[in-house]
Amino acid sequence: MKEWFIDYIKRYWRRFIVIVIVSILAVLCGAALMFTSGYLISKAALRPENVLMIYVPIVAVRTFGIGRAAIQYIARLTSHDATLRILSEMRIQLYKILEPRALFIRSKVRTGNILGLLSDDIEHLQDIYLRTIFPSIVALSVYFIVIFSLGWFSIPFALIMAIYLFILIVFFPLVSLWITKRKSQEINHQRNHLYQSLTDAVLGVSDLMISGRSKAFIRNHEMDETEITKIESSLHSMSQVREFISQGIIGLIVISMIVWSSGMANTHQIPGTLIAAFVLVVFTLGEIFIPISESTEKISQYQTSLDRLQETSHFETEDSKNEIENVSLHQKVTICLDHVHFRHDNESDWAINDLSLTIKQGEKIAIIGRSGAGKSSLIKLIYGALQPERGTITLNGIPANHFGDKMSKMISVLNQTPYLFDTTIRNNIRLGHQQASDEDIKRAAKQAKLDEYIESLPLGYQSAVDEMGENFSGGQRQRLALARVLLQNTPIVLMDEPTVGLDPSTEKELLETIFEAMKGKTLIWVTHHLVGADKMDKVIFMEQGKIEMQGHHRELMNQFERYRRLYQLDVPYQL
């Protein structure tokens, strides 16, 4: 609440005041238009000798008419400008929270598209200003202006009005908020349930069809929906009844106004010409006060977004507190793991259990193991994103987690789902090295064997990645990522199953390209099967955080029956 909301109010209060003042002026102009109009025709009804007698109200009526529209326009622009500014700052704030947690988001939040949701949450929060805060403050200010100006004529009547309007702008909104807050929890709960059940239906569509349970599913789903519709319907009915009562209060105010102003006119405390003016102005006020309940109701919706944003601060962060300033970045790097122990928390088993390993510059290593064998922890440890509980991991003697951001000069990563940004092919490749010339980019693309394909596109390197859609296969995506990594030109490359999901011939071609391009570099390759294992200097089998077998492909083939058995699955030499 504080960091996502109050801090922004503190920072932007000057703008907010301007917006509120302009909005109040717009409201007052609208009220003044009806007031002077009522006065104008009452005055005219007295049939003055000369039109000039009502010249001032005529001008005023026109001014207020035009002024209201113009000021409203300004109010809209200023309020949107302010919220867009806040939006921009909130984005940076969110990004800064997520940045050090980048490598852990995927494993932490498994469900769905959390990043997209967070971005939506921020968009959503800008409405809190436009739809709730500004209108509420404006209504509250107008409330006081109205009460004080009436008090100038008659204090008792002003107090009566104060009570009437208090119901509209304080009592109803608070009651509505209280009710919706309670019900919206229920609705959110139900909605999550529905979301889950629909995801089940869509992703499990084949199982539902084959099991013949689709009709039963629809029936169940509708039953759950009925629950939620009931609550929503009762909320709707509540808001409609509230609006009806609110309008009733406006009606009461009109009648009270008639009674009061006629009394005042009879006793000549006000001129009779003001009766119409006072009565007509009431209608314009209703438009300001009645919607406030609806605006405050929305607060319960923002709560969900705020909660989710708040949660981001609890995501796991990488451990690189001891980042040192001057790391010498050699092109020859020896990686040394010495009795490394790592576990995710104190209760769990060792994810990496007393692992020692030395990798010299230019060595090519394949790491294989079941899921949960500790492969991805090992990769994160080498990258310096995690810190071992015992033992050390060093690159040329410097602990891996001391590199911080400079690690990207030492190690580049090619993983299963390289992200391609919504920009041109050229810009996507250039991310590897921002000062790269167009020639460098072409060379990298050529090394990744993607140059011919890119040049065959009508826009060549200027083609947008997003619009390529289906023309861009899984293999080509990996090649684009490869070009980026080649441009990054680090002595070490970590590969995390880049060929999963590719068919054998695509996989073979991609691996050939990769191995050819990686000459001289250290290659640490996490893989799920053994195609290409014979090209590596060493194959490491991991199991429960330990190295189970290691050695060159030939040695393993000779020594281990288990290895031979597995190799057959990939290379069907028996057939």
Partner 1 sequence: MNRELMSYKGIKLILALISVMTIIQSVCIIYQAKWLADIISSLFAGHRLSSVSNQIIYFAFAFTGRYALSLLIKRGAYLFAQKTGTRLREQVLAKLFQLGPAFVRREGTGNLVTLVLEGISQVRTFIGLILPRMSSMGITPVMILMIVFIENKTSGVILLVTMPVLIVFMILLGLAAQKKMDMQWSAYRTLSNHFVDSLRGIETLKFLGLSKKHGTSIKRVSDKYRTMTMRTLRLAFLSSFALDFFTMLSVATVAVMLGLQLIKGEILLNSALMILILAPEYFLPVRELGADYHATLNGKEAASAIQSIMDVPNEQKIEDHLDLSPWNENSEMTLNKVSMYRNEEGKMSLNCINLNVKGFKKIGIIGESGAGKSTLIDILSGFITPTEGEIHLSGNEHPLSSLTHEEWRQQITYIPQTPYIFSQSVLDNVRFYKPSASDAEVKQALEQAGLADLVSQFPDGINEQIGNGGRMMSGGQEQRIALARAFLCERPIILLDEPTAHLDIETEYALKETMLPLFKQKLVFFATHRLHWMKQMDYIIVLNQGKIIEEGTLDELLNKKGEFHKLIQSQLEGLE
CA-closest candidate to residue 465, choices 506, 421, 520: 421
CB of 129 to partner 1, least distance (A): 14
What whole-number distance in Å separates Cα of residue 437 and Cα of residue 499?
29
What whole-number distance in Å separates Cα of residue 525 and Cα of residue 413?
10
Is there binding between residue 196 and partner 1 (CB under 8 A)?
yes
- Interacting residue with partner 1 among 12, 15, 18, 87 (CB under 8 A): 87
Nearer to partner 1, 191 or 546 (CB): 191
Q: Scanning residues 375 to 434, which ones bind partner 1 (CB under 8 A)?
A: 405-409, 412-413, 415, 418-423, 431-432, 434
Q: Scanning residues 25 to 44, which ones bind partner 1 (CB under 8 A)?
A: 30, 33-34, 36-38, 40-44
What whole-number distance in Å separates Cα of residue 330 and Cα of residue 501?
35
Binding residues for partner 1, rule CB under 8 A, total: 161
Is there binding between residue 77 and partner 1 (CB under 8 A)?
yes
Nearer to partner 1, 140 or 265 (CB): 265
Question: What is the residue type of 298?
Answer: K
What whole-number distance in Å separates Cα of residue 48 and Cα of residue 433?
83
Distance of CA 258 to the CA centre of its chain: 53
CB of 473 to partner 1, least distance (A): 9
Q: Scanning residues 474 to 503, which ones bind partner 1 (CB under 8 A)?
A: 484, 488, 500-503
What whole-number distance in Å separates Cα of residue 65 and Cα of residue 288?
17
Is there binding between residue 311 and partner 1 (CB under 8 A)?
no
Nearer to partner 1, 240 or 356 (CB): 240
What are the tokens at 29? 């102009």
Nearer to partner 1, 397 or 469 (CB): 469
What whole-number distance in Å separates Cα of residue 12 and Cα of residue 22?
16
Nearer to partner 1, 296 or 490 (CB): 490
Q: Scanning residues 423 to 452, which ones bind partner 1 (CB under 8 A)?
A: 423, 431-432, 434
Q: Scanning residues 89 to 108, which ones bind partner 1 (CB under 8 A)?
A: 91-92, 94-96, 98-99, 102-103, 105-106
Distance of CA 327 to the CA centre of its chain: 35
Is there binding between residue 194 and partner 1 (CB under 8 A)?
yes
SS (H, E, C) 265-310: HHCCCCCCHHHHHHHHHHHHHHHHHCCHHHHHHCHHHHHHHHHHHH
Q: What backbone torsions phi and psi does residue 536 show, to the nearest 5 degrees?
A: -95, 155
Question: What is the residue type of 174?
Answer: L
Q: Scanning residues 119 to 148, which ones bind partner 1 (CB under 8 A)?
A: 119
Query: CB under 8 A: which stretch of 17-25, 164-172, 387-395, 531-539 binds partner 1?
Result: 531-539
Q: What is the largest CA-CA distance in the chain?
A: 121
Is there binding between residue 528 and partner 1 (CB under 8 A)?
yes
Is there binding between residue 177 and partner 1 (CB under 8 A)?
no
Query: Beta 492-496 vs 411-414: how paired, if at all?
Result: parallel
Is there binding between residue 571 and partner 1 (CB under 8 A)?
yes
